[in-house]
Structure 1
Amino acid sequence: MNADRYLDRLGLARADVAPPDHEALRTLQAAHVRTVPFENIAITGDPEGNGAEGVTLDRRYVVDVGVAVPTIRQPLPLDGTLREDEAGVAWRVVESDRPDADYCAQFRNPGGDWQNRYVFRDRPVTLDFFRASCEFLAAAPESPFTSDPFATIATPSGHRKLEPGTLTVIENGETRERPVDPREWHDVLEREFGISLSV
């Protein structure tokens, strides 16, 4: 990975993420989720690697930019400390009650109840550990990634989502939808998400 190209894509300089501390990590994660869309379009094209990464700074965090709405916009401490993001979504990591997991990342939308996002173990694994799940997500008819194409991206106070026929914009809790004609879908994908496909 070319760090300078990555930072340039995010609109950051090395000075924006130095020294390597919690604030730098928060800046990097926030820039990533606002710049790099989460989408399933790559399933039929050139797949990218993605995974949750453990980082140790002043305490232990989970940093995951590879989930859709709601998007994890900042590092989440493993000690259960509550974090609220700019979109009003609260996040926390709690101990899991499942025998196959150590922790559970949870979120709560404004006025809602806590919901589990995913569970994970606090131990290193090889990429082979993810092979079966990746194959299922990329190929199974039941997978949410093999049906209609979609793209989502975080905005400062919400997100945008493009699906066949609809562009949804949520800002400050207000939802706006507009129809998207199939002939303009690729243009909207490029304009709103920065994804250009050759058609």
Structure 2
Amino acid sequence: MDESRVDAYLARIGVARPDVVDAEALRAIQYAHLRTVPFENLSIHLGQPVVLDEELVVAKIVDQRRGGFCYELNGALGALLAALGYRVTRLAAQVFGGGEPGLPFDHMVLRVDLDEPWLVDVGYGSFTHYPLRLVTGVDQPDPGGVFRIVRHGEYGDLDVYQDGNPEYRVDARPYRLKDYLPTCWWHQTSPESHFTRTLTCSRLTETGRITLSGAKLITTVGGRRDEVVLGDDAEILDAYRTHFGITLDRVPTVAAPPVAAV
């Protein structure tokens, strides 16, 4: 990523170029990213393929002023951090569901090494506001909850807990962006993927969170959840523009689920 793209990305999230590449700047970048770039899966329901190419995911966020899901958001942020001089490693994670870890490469997170390692994640929806120290057995309070990283098994895997609940299991080995391609394709096409069954656009706010799920606008403030059902397409498109800065020419809708292979 060249210097002009770095400046454009920083302008997109409203952060000045840091004078020092340190943990404080990393905290500011993650928080600003969560506040300005939504977690969304609109492309799947607009018939737009998600392509895991570094230039394209950065362009989607910076030029198209869109968001994305984990591979796009953490993939783009990893490119920005590396261009700023941070030492960044992509890690794969398995998201827990029903008490068990899910698919390999189900999620992407970032390891950023400074004087100590940090776990950075802007692609998991309602999660940490700030990076987590990549240490085990220590409670880490954050506005998003109390987080704890626990070592699992003999291969160096790490389980990340939020408020006592396991969220995902991190594989500590480094991976390339293209290593996530098969699972990214699965999430875009499988009837078993929650991304093909649901529609979401969500971002952190100063007081909580705002989410547009189909025609339902959900505002969370201090743990209180309010829902409003929007009346028509014009209202929905206006909500995307007003709350997420996303301009669309049509309303995304969840298509009929694809038929699972026998």
**Both proteins in one fold, TM over 0.5:** yes
Matches within 5 A, 1:3-14: 3-14=6-17
- Structure 1 residue identity aligned to 2:179: F
Higher relative contact order (CA 8 A, sep 6+): 2
Following superposition, the deviation at residue 154 of structure 1 comes to 0.6
SS of residue paired to 1:137: helix
1:177 to 227, 248, 261: 227
Matches within 5 A, 1:116-155: 116-155=166-205
Tell me the residue number matched to 1:157.
Answer: 207
Report percent identity of matched pairs.
32
Cα deviation digits, residues 156-186 of structure 1 (max 9, x gap): 2321111123111111111111111232111
Cα deviation digits, residues 34-71 of structure 1 (max 9, x gap): 00000001233253333322111121111011111x23
CA distance in 1, matches of 2:178, 2:188: 15
CA distance in 1, matches of 2:10, 2:229: 34
CA contact (8 A) 2:128 2:143 kept: no
CA distance in 2, matches of 1:105, 1:21: 23
Q: Runs in 1 of length 4+ with deviation above 6 angstroms?
A: none
Tell me the residue number matched to 2:88.
Answer: none
Tell me the residue number matched to 2:104.
Answer: none
CA RMSD of aligned residues (A): 1.8
Tell me the residue number matched to 2:130.
Answer: 74
Matched, 1:196 2:253: no
Taking a change above 3 Å as real, the CA distance of residues 165 and 106 of structure 1, as seen in their structure-2 partners, is: same
CA distance in 2, matches of 1:72, 1:24: 16
SS of residue paired to 2:195: coil
The count of residues paired between Structure 1 and Structure 2 equals: 189
TM-score scaled by length of structure 1: 0.87
TM-score scaled by length of structure 2: 0.67
SS of residue paired to 1:141: coil
Q: Mind listing any 5+ residue stretches in structure 1 that lack a counterpart? A: 109-113
Following superposition, the deviation at residue 96 of structure 1 comes to 2.2
